[in-house]
Structure 1
Amino acid sequence: MARISFSPGNLSDHLHEIIGYKAGLATSIEQMCDLLSGTSYADSILKSEIDGIAIRSEDYEDLYYQLLYKIGVTNTPRPPLFTQSLFFTNRLKEKGFDYIADIQSIYGKHYELGVEIAIKNGQSSIDPRPMITEVMDKYGKSGAKDLLELIQMYDTHFQNSPHTSGRWEEWKDIIDLNDLFDKYHPVVSHGSFLDQRFLNFLSNNHAKLGDIHWRKFEELISECFSKSGYKVELGPGTNDDGVDIRVWKDTVQTHPEFIIQCKRYKTKIDKVTIKGLYADVLDAQAQTGLLVTTSEFSPGARTTISARKYPIKEVNGDKVSEWLKALRTPGTGIVRV
């Protein structure tokens, strides 16, 4: 089996560089090892700092895709070739070898022609319509659906592979993952309140929500509402009278649709906090008060809301995780409370 050799320190340097390019994030050795905890790769990276390493090519691929997933670029740690293998196996059983071979032949023919046309016209992408039309004429909607799935798989492989220049986004800069946790440093090159790269990271690392900087948690919730089309006002972070975020459905609305308190707690929210939020709702003449927490409400807090009919809703860690999954790709998902 082929092996890839790295001199002492070179494996971590290589991973820093390629993750920075693909994900737009800078990570330390400690962070990479933490993200890979539960695998043998964390120890391999640490040992390679002193001794170097000769790693089997398939293990390198597995390490890379595990890290790409944990950093938030993909929604699965499995390499794209695994998905392609399943696709071809299933279609082979359903429609036979000749069908698969013909679909690939049509794709290859039009891809080469498309590249020539794109280069001639100074374009950065090819037009897939000619290949879709030919497959549609021969195999109908079912064939066109298979071709589109094949195109998507090939594109995913190109964007994610460690051996290609592809990536999903042309990042304006590389941001430090430490800025999400250790200190408050505004980073919004790709977003309004919180950078999209941090959203992607947290979507695959829900357990770390309680560890991020408290101000980043407020920015995260603001970004979720902003991406869902709301007008959002993020408070100063201190001396905000207990209201972290104000949200309006549109610019015409006078009073807020929601006022939001963000509690990055590990303990449950008590009824005293609920009563305080209710007073803020009345003062702001808001429709609803939201208390967004990384934990959950205590039974007493829920009873208080129910018994007194407070216009207050709980947004717990599970709901925030749902929002993150919906918003991991720019322009997708709707915040539902």
Structure 2
Amino acid sequence: MTDSFDDRTLERDIRQLEQAIEAWALTHDIWSDCGFTTYAKHVKAEPGDEPVVTILYFGSDFEPAVIGDLDLEFWELVHSYGFHYEQSWGSLHFYPDEGPRCKAFARYFRWQWICSLVQQDFADVHEELYGHFAARPDDLHRLDWRQYEILISRILQTQGFETELGPGRGDGGVDIRLLQRDPLGDILTLVQCKNYAPKNRIGLEAVQALFWDGTPQHFDLCD
């Protein structure tokens, strides 16, 4: 079951692999111009079913570990942590060995990819977001409160509304200001986002926080 591998366990496994590789390379004095980066930063693409958990970039000193006298020793080191690798233009891409943990890593990096699409400055809501949450609606509850507010704001924008996202703190209970343009007069709607589980009811306090207390509300968008 993939549920036996939580995020902390998977992140720990990656750190242990990276630390072991660096320590091994330092012992052999081949760590010069080496370092690790993530697939998201290096490739900037959606992860596959067999995800790349980390990428090692290296200089010429490290080549004996790849195509020289140390290649078997290095392979055994990586394999002992449950990973394997492929070479790609001056870098090594590390993958988890097949099995339940590989599926857990795939789910972990898929979720990281989905979260990376929830960005305040994106012009559109990516189709991947709609598809993911349509198939896995419970994952909405895995978003933190700010990610959820940003997602709702972007969805409303794709519906043709002008929105102004609140600061997130000290907003008087107003998370989003929603402006509807109308020939008879613009309509300003105040939105408060609550990402509650279905069994949890929205309490009276949350509703009261959204009541207008007489303070003028402004929408900082130009006509």
TM-score, normalising length: structure 1: 0.30
Q: Which of the two has greater helix per residue?
A: 1
TM-score, normalising length: structure 2: 0.43
